[in-house]
Amino acid sequence: MSLLLRGRTTKSTWEMAKAEPVCPPETMDSEDMLFMLYTSGSTGKPKGIVHTQAGYLLYASLTHKYVFDYKQGDVFGCVADIGWITGHSYVVYGPLCNGATTVLFESTPTYPDPGRYWETVERLRINQFYGAPTAIRLLLKYGDEWVKKYDRSSLKLLGSVGEPINHEAWEWFYNVVGEGRCDLVDTWWQTETGGICISPRPSESDGEIIPAMAMRPFFGIRPTLLNENGKVIEGGDVSGALCIAQAWPGMARTIYGDHQRFVDAYFKTYPGYYFTGDGAYRSDEGHYQITGRMDDVINISGHRLGTAEIEDALDEHPDVPETAVIGFPHDIKGEAAFAFVVLKDGITLTEQAIKEDLKSIVATKIAKYAIPDHILMVKRLPKTRSGKIMRRVLRKIAGGNTEDLGDITTLEDPTIITEILEAYHKYKTEEAAK
Ligand code: WTA
């Protein structure tokens, strides 16, 4: 190799020879920006979340070590996309700070077949496997054989992240994948928190595991539940808005270019607290369970999306003046989007052609996973007298609950509901006939 290189006198070789073989590290301030990741909020414009050098790295490495019980020599397998916060904190920064061997998974759980994860576990002798409930729900439908085909004896711990894990998925992950002998940690956190904030830490507890529960705050995290009047809810067996009462090293420092938006989005609703946007339940034992978003953010296959973001994309269609996008429960994706779309009068395209246009706009502007599962064309949207879309009614319809729509007396024109229900039933009949 060296002979070959010496023999060549191309310009690039000379340039290489002139270059310094050592690149001195740059000295950074602990509060200098480390990276920025865009994420969805309840308004259409994504937020550029800024993490800094020292606090984030400390938090990513500590959580990696203690939540996953990482031991020197372990092979850590987080199968998240590297472009997501989970990929940042637990494929790159956390494991590498701890000198771990980390796995870069670049595929999908079903390519070339549904055994891909477990084949990877066997081949690389993975010790900790960290993934998303949506993939687990998808894989369990293919049956146990794809898992059992591979040797998983290297596994010590399993982890779940990104959305609530339902009981069926938890049991399958724990019993089939982990053969009932691996701890399973359901980890709650967000792009903004930098690392895991609430999770079981089985290595320190007495081995007690409560399926899909037993979530304890990580060191330095003070979860607090607040009611709608901004009062702290004490005690057990209670639910409220999940806030964090004290700063922690990994927390985001700002929204890039808009610090006021950062303050408004996270610290204004409950003054003195960081508001996560999630609701949570606390048991008598003090364990936390996440109940879901309290704002207009939905979670499709672990992807966090503002419904306003999808609406903005749909509204770009020249024949579409207005839309309302609502999340509804979905077996595999966790949640899926249902779009109520108002069309202009006198359109020349067919409804079907417009639907296809809308799908491709969403795929290009956001991503394929953001395409609504259902697009229902309606004449008008139900609005209150003050002009606000009554989302709770649409949420019921999207979830297939058309009988009891609750109080609709504050609607400007309640007959709109009859119109929407007619369109909905017609749509459902057509879908069933397909
Ligand atoms: C949701 C992903 C229930 C939650 C790391 C949060 C969860 C949002 C869990 C953040 C969990 C994340 N149980 N819900 N274990 N983990 N979430 O920013 O609604 O992509 O606010 O960060 O995902 O999504 P993000």
Looking at the structure, tell me whether residues 114 and 227 fall in a common domain. Answer: yes
State which of 240, 271, 292 marks the end of a domain.
292
Q: Which of 39, 85, 188, 281 to mutate to test the pocket of ligand 1 (most atoms within 8 A of CB)?
A: 188
State which of 292, 318, 342 marks the end of a domain.
292
Is 190 a pocket residue for ligand 1 (Cβ < 6 Å)? yes
Q: Which of 39, 78, 299, 335 to mutate to test the pocket of ligand 1 (most atoms within 8 A of CB)?
A: 299
Residue 73's pLDDT is 97
Q: What is the mean pLDDT of the chain?
A: 91
Per-residue pLDDT averaged across 13-36, rounded?
91
Q: Residue 24 pLDDT more than 80? A: yes
State which of 238, 264, 292 marks the end of a domain.
292
Give dist(CA 389, CA 236) in Å, integer.
35
Looking at the structure, tell me whether residues 392 and 369 fall in a common domain. Answer: yes
Give the tens place of pLDDT for each residue, 188-222.
999 999 999 999 888 776 556 666 555 899 999 99
Residue 208's pLDDT is 61
Q: b/e string for 214-241 if b means 16 or more Cβ within 10 A?
A: bbbbbeebebbbbeeeeeeeeeeeeebb
Entry pTM? 0.84
Looking at the structure, tell me whether residues 345 and 269 fall in a common domain. Answer: no
Asked if residue 413 belongs to a domain, the reply is yes
* CATH number of 200's domain: 3.40.50.12780
* CATH number of 330's domain: 3.30.300.30
Give the tens place of pLDDT for each residue, 287-324.
998 888 888 899 999 898 989 889 989 999 999 988 99
Between 32 and 19, where is the model more confident? 32
Is 293 a pocket residue for ligand 1 (Cβ < 6 Å)? yes
Looking at the structure, tell me whether residues 188 and 245 fall in a common domain. Answer: yes
Asked if residue 17 belongs to a domain, the reply is no
Is 277 a pocket residue for ligand 1 (Cβ < 6 Å)? yes
> Which residue's CA is the nearest one to ligand 1's atom 22?
190
Asked if residue 313 belongs to a domain, the reply is yes
Looking at the structure, tell me whether residues 59 and 205 fall in a common domain. Answer: yes
Q: b/e string for 128-154 if b means 16 or more Cβ within 10 A?
A: bbbbbbbbbbbbbeeeeebbeebebeb
Percent of all residues in the chain with a pLDDT value above 90, rounded to a whole number: 72
Give dist(CA 154, CA 177) in Å, integer.
12
Q: Residue 44 pLDDT more than 70? A: no
Is 249 a pocket residue for ligand 1 (Cβ < 6 Å)? no
Give the tens place of pLDDT for each residue, 116-130.
999 999 999 999 999
Looking at the structure, tell me whether residues 229 and 259 fall in a common domain. Answer: yes
Residue 261's pLDDT is 95
Looking at the structure, tell me whether residues 326 and 364 fall in a common domain. Answer: yes
Looking at the structure, tell me whether residues 140 and 288 fall in a common domain. Answer: yes
Asked if residue 122 belongs to a domain, the reply is yes
Q: Which of 36, 190, 281 to mutate to test the pocket of ligand 1 (most atoms within 8 A of CB)?
A: 190
Q: Which of 36, 88, 39 is nearest to 266 (CA)?
A: 39
Per-residue pLDDT averaged across 22-34, rounded?
95
Atom of ligand 1 nearest to the CA of 276: 21
User: How far, in Å, is the centroid of ligand 1 from the Cα of 326?
Assistant: 18
Looking at the structure, tell me whether residues 310 and 279 fall in a common domain. Answer: no
* 428: containing domain: 301-433
User: How far, in Å, is the centroid of ligand 1 from the Cα of 314?
Assistant: 25
Atom of ligand 1 nearest to the CA of 198: 15
Looking at the structure, tell me whether residues 77 and 226 fall in a common domain. Answer: yes
Atom of ligand 1 nearest to the CA of 192: 18
Looking at the structure, tell me whether residues 73 and 221 fall in a common domain. Answer: yes
Residue 5's pLDDT is 40
Looking at the structure, tell me whether residues 136 and 270 fall in a common domain. Answer: yes
Total tally of structural domains belonging to the chain:
2
Give the tens place of pLDDT for each residue, 324-357.
999 999 999 999 999 999 998 888 889 999 999 9
Asked if residue 19 belongs to a domain, the reply is no
